[in-house]
């Protein structure tokens, strides 16, 4: 197993600015598929998974622009494909998060299973079963999830066991454009899930129960693009704070949300 060995001579000092949270940025990038007009994102971390997500969205016809500050504008108004191919999904399991937005807005999606032609229980079964409860016809063929809906998805009462972050995010994005009200019970409560919900609400969704284990989604007919800043990465911030603590150092960590760091700082 690979490992990092860090030798520290003396104390740490200085100031470090925290990046945007990858685990918030990825579902928000996929959520841009739901908007009928361009969305502009800031504080997106510059990581391989973000690059892969943008490549995946671009392969489906999303227009992507960067400004001089590396803010990202995404326009999903004219998709050319509703497929997430294996060669991209295989490099990043979070690619499965295009399933909910594609099905919810366009009524169809073809998304490779993260592990290809998996046999037996799949880690995305909760995603599939939840969308089936919303009225989707879903088949798994040759390693692909092929999903279709006859018109808008329908609101449903969905209980997720076990708790799943990506499952909560995928079903949340599928439900925002569904007809009627959807209840996601035993939902993940991580700040990154709440950030996605706040992003969707800013686009015009109606999601309540943020930060709790029950999310209530009243479906709307359309969502529009917005400007949105991704939350800071609590894991990165916690890592620097822990490093300062174990070396008995004084380190300034900026662009953080203390409410996301109570486990570390309390």
- Enumerate the active-site residues: 117
CB distance 181 to 157 below 8 Å: no
Q: Is residue 79 a contact partner of residue 66, using CB atoms and an 8 Å limit?
A: no
Q: Report strand pairing: 108-112 vs 137-141.
A: unpaired
Taking alpha carbons only, the member of 117, 141, 113, 115 closest to residue 127 is: 113
Please state the φ and ψ torsions of residue 78, each to the nearest 5 degrees: -135, 70
Radius of gyration of the chain (CA): 19
Of 242, 236, 231, 232, the closest CA to residue 265 belongs to 242
CA 58 from centroid of its chain's CA atoms: 17
* Cis geometry, peptide bond prior to residue 165 (ω within 30 degrees of 0): no
Q: Torsions phi, psi of 67, nearest 5?
A: -100, -175
Q: Return the SS3 of 266.
A: coil
Q: Please give the Cα distance from 153 to 177 (Å, whole number).
A: 7
Instruction: Give dist(CA 223, CA 110) in Å, integer.
Output: 22
């Amino acid at each position: 197993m690979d490992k990092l060995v860090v030798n520290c001579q003396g104390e740490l000092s200085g100031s470090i600015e925290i990046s945007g949270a990858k685990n918030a940025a990825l579902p928000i990038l996929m959520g841009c598929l739901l908007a009928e007009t361009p969305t502009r994102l800031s504080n997106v971390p510059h990581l391989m998974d973000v690059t892969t997500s943008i490549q995946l969205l671009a392969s489906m016809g999303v227009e992507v622009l960067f400004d001089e500050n590396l803010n990202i504008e995404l326009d999903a108004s004219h998709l050319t494909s509703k497929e997430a191919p294996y060669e991209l999904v295989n490099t990043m399991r979070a690619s499965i998060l295009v399933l909910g937005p594609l099905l919810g807005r366009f009524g169809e999606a073809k998304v490779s299973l993260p592990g290809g032609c998996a046999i037996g229980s799949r880690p995305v079964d909760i995603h599939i079963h939840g969308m089936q409860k919303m009225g989707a016809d879903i088949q798994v063929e040759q390693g692909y999830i092929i999903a279709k809906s006859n018109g808008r998805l329908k609101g449903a009462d969905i209980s997720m066991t076990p708790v799943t972050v990506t499952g909560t995010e995928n079903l949340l994005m599928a439900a925002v454009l569904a007809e009627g009200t959807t209840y996601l019970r035993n939902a993940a409560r991580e700040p990154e899930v709440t950030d996605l919900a706040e992003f969707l609400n800013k686009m015009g969704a109606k999601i309540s129960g943020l930060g709790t284990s029950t999310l209530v989604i009243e479906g709307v007919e359309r969502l529009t693009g917005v400007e949105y800043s991704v939350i800071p990465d609590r894991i990165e911030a916690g890592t620097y704070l822990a490093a300062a603590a174990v070396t008995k150092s004084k380190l300034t960590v900026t662009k953080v949300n203390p409410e996301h760091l109570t486990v570390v700082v309390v």
